[in-house]
Structures are given as C-alpha cells and as structure tokens.
Structure 1
C-alpha cells in the first residue's frame, strides 16, 4: 500500500509541475526548433503531432511459451500430504489460482520447483521410508517442471501486463522534470534480471538451495512498471528528440547552402540572435533534457538487453523486437546518435563562420 501511495504521489507531482501545458516536452522541442528556423529566416516549422514510426511490442500470442501444467496429476501423486506442498498446490487449484496473473504464476513455478527438489532429497532419507515408486514419480515431475522452467520464467516476465505497458506506443513523452519514475523502473528491471538469472542457475540445481527471498516482494515492481510506464514514455521521448535534431539540422544545413551567416568570421546582428537562440533554447532547455534521456535510456536499454540474455529460447517476434529496439547498438539508438552528431556538426559549421563557437 505504501509503495502504491508513493507511485501516486509521483504521478500527481509530475502533473502539477507540468502545469496547464498538456504536452510540455513537445512544446519545448517545437519552441527550440522553430526559434532556430525564425532566427535563420526559414519558414520550416516543426510540428510534433506525429505518429511514432516504431515497431509495436509483439502481441501476447507471439510472446507466450508453452508450460507443462501438472496440477491435478501432482495432487494425485502426493496424496495431499508429502513435502509441505499441499498449500501451494491447493492455492494453484483454487478458483483464483486458475486465473493467476503472470506475476503470481512465476512465483508458483519457482516455489514448486524448489520444493520438489527438496522433496526428492527428503524422501530419499532412510528415515523417510518413502515408497520407491513415489520417489520416482516425484523425480519425473521435477524433471518435467525443470525442463519447462525457462518458459515459466519467460511468461512470468514477458507476458505480464506490466511489461506490455512498459513498451506501449500510446504514452506521452517523459516530463521535463526529474520526476519520471526511472529509479523505480530501474529497480524493477534489476529484480527481473535476478529472477531471469534463475534460468541458468537451475542447470546445476542443488536441493539444499533456499527459495529466493524476494518472491513476496515482486508485485510492487510489476506495479512500478505498469503505473509509471517509463519505457513507453522514454521511447516517445527519444523518438521525438531524434526527429527534432534531424529537422533542426536540416534547417541549418539549408541555410548554409544558401549563403553564409557571417563573412570573415565577423559576427553580424543576426548571428548574435542565432547564438542567443542556441544558448537559451538549446543549451538552456533541450540539452539538459536530452542528457537525461540519453543517460537513463542507455541504462534502461542495457537492463532490458541483459534481461533477454538470460534466455536461450526467445520467440521469433521478440528476437526481431530486441534487434530493432532493445539492442544498445540497434537501429533505435543508432538513429538517435546519428541525428545528434548531424545536429552538432550543423551548429559547429554555422557558429564557426561567425567565430561564435562556445569557448572561443
């Protein structure tokens, strides 16, 4: 409850800080680019009421992996009494258990695997006097669940509503303030990386291993991704920044092709106006926002990329999405860095004509 309250406070604070402007990031980007155009006598205006030309997150049926479900058979084998599995199994077979969200299903699968492993060890103790047939059945079930454990982990993370919302293309860009939910989303992805790392760990599973101690604290992290939707908002922010940088660079390049802004490195009154636009709207507004989107985005991409590296069997649709969006060296990030370099080069050429480069 306290975690949910904090998330609500963040969202309210962000809304209040944005004031009456319903699209503060877009307004800032348009203001910057259009001021540059005006100062260069260009009538090319930037309008960011545009659709995102990004691939959508794969549909759920393209992401889900089949998992062997042995609930009823397991009850028959254990006769509702062995290895302290009765409560876990009963919960899964309840009316609510049958419609568990992915976040709860993955907890069930993890606990079931760990408890089955310990069950094998317990039943093999001489004092247990267990039926050899029962031991073989438990071992068979353990191997079946172990074989589908990767799919269970995958579904628990990547078929969740929280993850879907984190990659939606319908959210607004991140706010101009620092209250953007990055730290909570980062923490959630760090926990998910721990969760996914169990996939490789179970290859050398030891029955004495304790269950992960964070299983009861997973839900708030799913909620953070679902409510804050940092990823969705970051994708729009980066796309709009990339579009703005390319558009503004083109405006500057067109002016450079027409006629010089200055001659003999002597600053003209118009050049001083252009430099003032650079200082006020680029250095003062866009650059700090862009630096934050860059810094947080690189870490967000790396966390998502690392998360996927824990899995050996990734659906084809997710492989394509990973290569286009989540690869730190993929097209999404490369388009941004190319636009940034083009924009920087255009400004350098323009200001160098007038001996107005920063530091000169």
Structure 2
C-alpha cells in the first residue's frame, strides 16, 4: 500500500510539473499556431530565425553598494542599554546580523537612527560621535534602500529569465499584489529623509511578493519573444499589400486565421500584458531614478524596461505590435476589405 501511494505521489508530482511547464510556454504555442496556419497559404512563408537579443541581470557586485560600518564598544554598549542603541547595534554585530538580508539591513538602519536620535546621552563625546553616526546613516539610507531593492535574492527572482512567459490566464496575469507592494516601496523611497517608521513585517511581505512574482523576467522574456514572432510575420505580410492577386479566396483564408488567432487569442493576451506593465513599469522607473546606483551595467540592463526610451525592449515590442496591425490593414485596404474586429 505504501509503495502504491508513493507511485501515485510521483505521478501527481510529474503531472504537476508538466502542467506548470506547459503554462510557462503556452503563449509560445499560440504564436506558433498562428504562424503555422498562416503558412498554409501559398502566399505566405514565414520563417523564424533563432536570434533573440536581451540583457540578463548583471552580477551582484555591480548592484550592491557599500555602507559605512559602525561598531559600538563594550563599555559604550553597556552605557547605552537603556537607550536601545546598544541592543540594535548588538543585533547587527551578532552572527545573524552579519548575514542579515538586505531588507532587514534597511530596517536595521532606520531603527538605529531613531534609537540614537531619541536617546538622551550625557557624555558629550559619545553624544557627538553617535550623532555623527546617525547623520551618516541617514545620508546613506538611499543606499540601504537600493541594496534592498536591487541586491537581494528577491532581485534575482524578479528578473529571472528562467520562468518563461507571462501566463495566458487572466487570473494568473493580474499581479495586483506586486503593484501594491511596489506602490508601498515607492512611498517609502520618497520619504527616506524623514526616517520613516517602517515595520519589518511589512517590508518582508513586500519583498516576498516581489520574489514570488518573477514578473520582470517573465515580462522581458515575453515581449522579446512576441516581438520576434510579430516582426517575422509582418515581414512576410508586407509584399501582399502590393499584390492584388491575394484578394478574394486567398485573403478570406488569411483573414480567418488573423481573426481566429490574433484577434481572439493573441491580442487579448497582449492587452493583459500591457495593462499590468503600464502600472508596474512607471513604478520601477521611479524606484530606479531614486536609487543612487550608477553602475553602467545596471543602467544598460534596466533601460530595457524604460517606457520612454525608443531603443528599449518595451518600446521595441510596442512598435512590433503596431507595425503588425498596420501590415494587415494595408493588405485589407488593397483588396477593399474591412479589418473585421481589429
């Protein structure tokens, strides 16, 4: 009986893995079906090459910035127990503190600034020293915040290209939790000079959402592949706008494929991608602009998501989408046909 259950568990696990894999690449199947059916026409021969161009997330060393180190001596630690400064600094110097995640390091920096500034210190030299420390840490909060966003394990997951496309399912492609988390982080970024009172649990919840979304890697993977499919198809369609022999039955067949695949399946999928991206990408851009991170490799990478840069992957995808629609419109126009539901 135990062996039977084990086999059943293995089968279920394999089926689950297969379903996840299918979901990750379902959009690829949709685009390939579109091209395959268009290629059934004697007027079209769409050929796909294997060249895809994107930049992967640069190495951690280009995304992480150093923070000033601060250690409290033993006597000072004992003298500051009532002010919580020693306790907070001791946490940082503990074994756990030395491997503190970037999100917790950011919260720690906020905590120790508040602890120092709220503490009544009688020793003048010590008060001066700690005031200077608090001021330095306050000036470095944008660095700690940037490290949290771009140098943690959440970053690697957020930008991972290993997870395939944005899901086709409307329910799985909304990413509302991610939008809410980024909005919260943007508010914090804009209020760093006031040393915001941030709860560790809230920060961890935001970073967990970012980690689990895998969104920006999926977005980049999706738009680069979609652009590739659309540009190849558009290139094959272009000559037909100068060829009236396609009018009549040949065009009717092509129009059926256009409406069955592009209008009913692919265009709604792309619209869902756009709807979320138009909310996420401005938030991403705002967070990037407020970060002091200046590494050229980082800026070259993140520029792929720039909504205004004409050379970005995002704008390349939008341009390919527009040109694809125009190519069909020109073919329909030469034959005096309406675009249908386009």
| Corresponding residue number in structure 2 for 1:184 | 177
Change (3 A) 1:347 1:75: farther
Q: SS at 1:100's partner residue?
A: coil
Question: How far apart in 2 are the matches of 1:163 and 1:190?
Answer: 17
- Residue pair 1:30, 1:46 contacting (<8 A) in 2 also: no
Verify: 1:308 aligned to 2:273, yes or no: no
| Corresponding residue number in structure 2 for 1:7 | none
User: Cα distance, 1:285 vs. partner?
Assistant: 0.5
User: Cα distance, 1:75 vs. partner?
Assistant: 7.3
RMSD (Å), alpha carbons: 2.8
Q: Choose which of 37, 41, 45 in structure 2 pairs with 1:39.
A: 41
TM-score by length of 1: 0.81
- Residue pair 1:245, 1:339 contacting (<8 A) in 2 also: yes
Change (3 A) 1:53 1:20: closer
Question: How far apart in 2 are the matches of 1:307 and 1:86?
Answer: 32
Verify: 1:107 aligned to 2:107, yes or no: yes
- Residue pair 1:92, 1:98 contacting (<8 A) in 2 also: yes
Moved over 4 A (4+): 14-22
- Residue pair 2:155, 2:211 contacting (<8 A) in 1 also: yes
| Corresponding residue number in structure 1 for 2:327 | 346
User: Cα distance, 1:92 vs. partner?
Assistant: 1.7
Question: How far apart in 2 are the matches of 1:258 and 1:133?
Answer: 87
Q: SS at 1:38's partner residue?
A: coil
Matches within 5 A, 1:85-100: 85-100=85-100
Q: Tell which deviates more after alignment, 212-221 or 283-292.
A: 212-221
| Corresponding residue number in structure 1 for 2:218 | 233
Q: Choose which of 28, 31, 37 in structure 2 pairs with 1:29.
A: 31
| Corresponding residue number in structure 2 for 1:141 | 133
| Corresponding residue number in structure 2 for 1:222 | 207
- Residue pair 1:33, 1:46 contacting (<8 A) in 2 also: no
- Residue pair 1:181, 1:228 contacting (<8 A) in 2 also: no
Q: Give aligned pairs, total.
A: 325
User: Cα distance, 1:97 vs. partner?
Assistant: 1.3
- Residue pair 2:81, 2:87 contacting (<8 A) in 1 also: no
User: Cα distance, 1:80 vs. partner?
Assistant: 4.0
